[in-house]
Chain A
Amino acid sequence: MKTIKTISLAVAASLFGAAQLGLPQQAAADMNAPLGALGPPPVPPDNPMTPEKVELGKLLFFDTRLSGDASVACATCHEPTQGWGFSNDISRGYPGTLHWRNSQTLINSAYYGKLFWVGAAKSLEGQGPAAAKGAVAGNGESDMMEVRLSFIPEYRKRFREVFGDRWPKLSNAWKAIAAFERTLVQTDTPFDQYMRGDKDALDDQQKRGLALFQGKANCIECHNGPLLSDQKFYNLGVPRSVRWEEDGLAQISFRFEQYAKGVTQELYRTIKDDAGLYYRTKEKADMGKFRTASLRYTAYTAPYMHNGMLWDLFEVVEFYNDGGGENEFAANKTDLIKPLGLSDEEIEDLVAFLETLSGDEIKMTTPTLPPYAPLAAAE
C-alpha cells in the first residue's frame, strides 16, 4: 500500500510538471541550504514520466538479461529488501568478481545532480548503462543487451507503445529505468511531516537531535537542503577498506579500477586506497573525496560510507565526534570536521534524529518477467 501510494504520488507530481522543486543546485559558499521537506524530484525534459514508461522501467530494473551472462539485474545490487542497496560493506559484483565500493540506495537518487560516489554519471539515464557495462558490475555489452530486448515480444510491444520504437532501443531502456527510479522517492518521513508543520512528528529527543544537527554537531555544514546533502565532495578520512588487505578478489578489483580509470603507472603501483574524485579530475587535491551522501532512508542502508566501513549510525556519529578518521590522503582531509565533544546522551539524541529521516520501508516484489520467444521472419 505504502509503496504504491508513494510511487503514484511521485508520478502524478511529475506529470503535472512539478519539476521545479526548490532544491538548490549549489548553496552559496558560506550559507547552508536550509533544511526542509522533500518535494517531488526533478524530471528531465527529454524523459517525461508516464505510468506506462515507469511500468516498463520496473520490469527492466528487475531483468537480469541486461547484463553479460543474464544473471545480474539492477536489483541485484540495489535490492529492495536491502534498502535498495546491498547490505554489505562492499557491494557484490558480477559473478567471479567483487565490486569495490558500497552500493548506494536508490531511494531518492532522483534528487542527485550526478550519480555514483564521485558523480561519475551526469544523470540516472547515464548511471544505468555505466553500471550494466562495468566489468565488476553488469559486464554487459550494448549490442547484445539490445538484441535480447528484441527477442522478448512483451518488450517489443511496450517499447513501441512508450517510445515508438520499431525494435527496442537500449537507450530507451535506460530512460525507462530512470523514470522508474524517479518513483523511488520518500517524502513523507517524520522529518518531512515536522518540516511541513506537524510539530508532534518529532519527539523531544529527536528535536534535541535536530538542534545538535544544526548546532553543536554542525552536520548541516554539508548535510543540508531538503535532500540533506550539498552534493559536494569531501575527504573525511574514512579509513581504507579492510577488504583490500584480506580478500584476494577485492585486491583484483582494486587494481582493475586503478587501471581502468587511467591513473599513472606510478600511482597504479603505489596507491593503497580509493582516490575518489581524483579519478574524474586527476587533481591531487581531489584524492580521497566523495560526494556527501543524503541521510534519508539510512535506517535501511547500513553499512555506511563509500566503502561501508561504518556499520551503524552510532558508529557514524562517533566517527564524526572523533573529528573523522585518517587515510592516506590526509593532506586533503576537510577542515570542516573537528572533534565535537558530544556526550553519550547527545550522541543518542543525534541518532534518534537521524532515524526520523527514514519513513516506512519501501517494499516491492519482483515482477514476473516476460520470456523470450522465437522471432518469426518479417511479414
Chain B
Amino acid sequence: MTVSHKGWLLKRLAVVGALTISGTLAPFAGLSPSPASAAEPFGPVPAIEVDAKKAALGKRLFFDKRLSGDVAISCASCHIPEKGFGDGLALSKAYPGSEGFRNTPTLINTAHKAAWFHDGRLGTNLNDVTRETLTETYIMNMDMRLMQERLKQDPVYVAMFKDAGMGEPSNGGVRKLIPEYLKTLVSRNAPFDNGTMSDDAKLGFELFKGKAGCAACHSGPRFSDDRAHNLGVPENPDIWGDPRRHMTFVTYAIFMGVENYMNLRRDVGAHVRTHKSDGSDVGKFMTPTLRELKYTAPYMHNGMFATLDDVVVFYSKGGGGDPNRDQMLKPLGLSPQERRDLVAFLESLSGDPLTGPEHVWTEKIPVNYKPIENWVEVKN
C-alpha cells in the first residue's frame, strides 16, 4: 500500500542530491555542455580495497533471486559474468511482465563512475543505485520491507550479516553490501595495461588520441568522461514497436517528469536530469566505459550497433543525424585499415573475464524458506 518504501520519493531526493552536490564532489558529472578540458590520463583501473566479508555477502545477494518481487530474477539475471556483467542483448530484459528499453550496461568498473544509468539520473553513489534497481517496478519490483524479512528467514544470511559486523539482515545493509561487492568488479590484465598490445592496436591507440578524436570523451582509466553527449545514435525501432518495451519507457518517462510522454518516440536520455525547455538536451547519453567491450556487444544505449566496426563506421561518418548532435563529432575519413587498427585497440582494453569464484557466487542458494523453529518462543 505504501509506495514511499518502494523508493519513488527517495529516488527524487537522490536526483536532487545529485544536482546539488555534484558541483563539489564530481566535476558536474554529465551536466556540463563542454567536453573535459584537460583529459584524464589513461592507465589501469585502480583496484578498490574492500571488506572481504562484506563483499562476499554482497556477492551472494547479487546472485539471489529472492531479491526481486516475484523471486524470478537476481541482479545477475541481466548482469551476467560471462557477458562482462551485461546481458549480450540489444535491449535488456526487465521484470516479468515488462521488457526493457535500453542496453544493459556493464558493471565492471561501475564503482569508479560518477553517475549511473545511461541517462546519468543517479549521481550520488552505488547505495542509491542499488535501491533504485531493486525497487524500480520494471527492474526488480521489490518492496524492500519484504526483502528484509526474506533475508531474515535464511540462516545463512543471518550468520553472514552477523559475521560481517552488519547486525541482523536489513535493507540498509543490503544497500551497503551490494556496492561492496561491486567494488570488486574492476578490469585487470588488459593488453593495454600489461604491455601486450599488438602493433595494430598501438596504431589504433594513436588514432584514438589523434585523428579519430575518441579521447575527447573517452578519457581516463575507464575511457569515459562521465558526461552525457548526443551522438545522434538512431532510435531502436523495437522499443516503439513492442508494447512491452514502449510501456516501460512511458512508465519511466512519467516518473522522471518528462512531458508529452505518450507521444514521444525518442529516448530522451539525460534530459531527465536537466529538463531543458527547448529540448536541446534530449538524446544525450552518458559516455560509457570502453573497457571489456569484447564481452559486451551490442553497443550504444539502445544496442543499435552489433560490432565494434559498426561503431567505428558510425563515428567515421561523423555520428548520426540529430540536430542537437554534439558539435565535436565530425566526419573522420578513416580508411578501412585505420578502422581495423582502432578496433584492435578497443579490443586491447578487455582484460581477464571476471567469471571465477572470486566474482561469482557458486554455492546453491535455496529458493525455499525453512520455518524458524520454536517460533512462538523466540523473538521475531
Give A residues with C-beta under 8 Å from B.
Answer: 65, 67-71, 94-97, 130, 133-136, 139-144, 147-148, 150-151, 167, 244-256, 258-260, 268-272, 372-375, 377-378
A-B contact pairs, 23 of them (CB 8 A): A68-B69, A69-B72, A71-B70, A71-B97, A95-B72, A96-B69, A133-B1, A141-B6, A141-B137, A142-B3, A143-B251, A246-B371, A247-B371, A248-B368, A251-B372, A251-B375, A259-B145, A374-B241, A374-B242, A374-B246, A375-B240, A375-B246, A378-B262
B119-149 interface bits toward A, Cβ cutoff 8 Å, 1 = contact, 0 = none: 0000000000000000001100101011011
A244 vs B240: C-alpha distance when bound (angstroms) = 47
Chain B residue nearest to A166 in the complex (CB): B262
Cross-chain contact A135 with B375 (CB below 8 angstroms): no
Cross-chain contact A69 with B372 (CB below 8 angstroms): no
Cross-chain contact B69 with A139 (CB below 8 angstroms): yes
Cross-chain contact A68 with B145 (CB below 8 angstroms): no
A246 vs B376: C-alpha distance when bound (angstroms) = 11
Cross-chain contact B97 with A65 (CB below 8 angstroms): yes
**Which chain B residues numbered 322 to 379 have a C-beta less than 8 Å away from chain A?**
368-372, 375-376, 379
Cross-chain contact B143 with A135 (CB below 8 angstroms): yes
4 closest A-B pairs by CB: A248-B369, A70-B97, A96-B71, A141-B137
Decide if B380 is an interface residue (CB 8 Å cutoff).
Answer: yes
Cross-chain contact A258 with B380 (CB below 8 angstroms): yes
A97 vs B97: C-alpha distance when bound (angstroms) = 17
Decide if B275 is an interface residue (CB 8 Å cutoff).
Answer: no
What is the total number of residues of chain B having a CB less than 8 Å from a CB of chain A? Answer: 50
Decide if B244 is an interface residue (CB 8 Å cutoff).
Answer: yes
Kindly identify which residue among A133, A142, A255 contacts B380, using a CB–CB cutoff of 8 Å: A255
Cross-chain contact B254 with A95 (CB below 8 angstroms): no
Chain A residue nearest to B98 in the complex (CB): A144
Chain B hits for A69, CB < 8 A: 69-70, 72, 95-97, 141
A67 vs B141: C-alpha distance when bound (angstroms) = 11
Chain B hits for A136, CB < 8 A: 146
Chain A hits for B262, CB < 8 A: 150, 167, 375, 378
Chain B residue nearest to A151 in the complex (CB): B243
- Shortest beta-carbon distance from B367 to chain A in Å: 9
- Shortest beta-carbon distance from B257 to chain A in Å: 12
- Shortest beta-carbon distance from A79 to chain B in Å: 19
Chain B residue nearest to A133 in the complex (CB): B1
Decide if B294 is an interface residue (CB 8 Å cutoff).
Answer: no
Known A-B contacts A69-B141, A143-B251, A252-B149; A95 and B71 likewise in contact (beta carbons under 8 Å): yes
Decide if B286 is an interface residue (CB 8 Å cutoff).
Answer: no
Chain B hits for A147, CB < 8 A: 247, 250-251, 254
Chain B hits for A141, CB < 8 A: 3, 6, 137, 141, 251
- Shortest beta-carbon distance from A274 to chain B in Å: 13
Q: Which of A70, A94, A143, A374 has the most CB of B within 10 A?
A: A143
Decide if B24 is an interface residue (CB 8 Å cutoff).
Answer: no
Chain B residue nearest to A72 in the complex (CB): B70
Chain A hits for B263, CB < 8 A: 377-378
A345 vs B97: C-alpha distance when bound (angstroms) = 54
Cross-chain contact B145 with A260 (CB below 8 angstroms): yes
Decide if B153 is an interface residue (CB 8 Å cutoff).
Answer: yes
Chain A hits for B150, CB < 8 A: 252
Q: Which of B71, B150, B255 has the most CB of A within 10 A?
A: B150
- Shortest beta-carbon distance from B54 to chain A in Å: 24
- List 12 additional contacts besides A96-B68, A133-B3, A251-B153; criterion CB under 8 Å: A96-B71, A135-B146, A141-B137, A151-B246, A245-B371, A246-B371, A256-B145, A258-B380, A259-B145, A260-B143, A272-B375, A374-B240
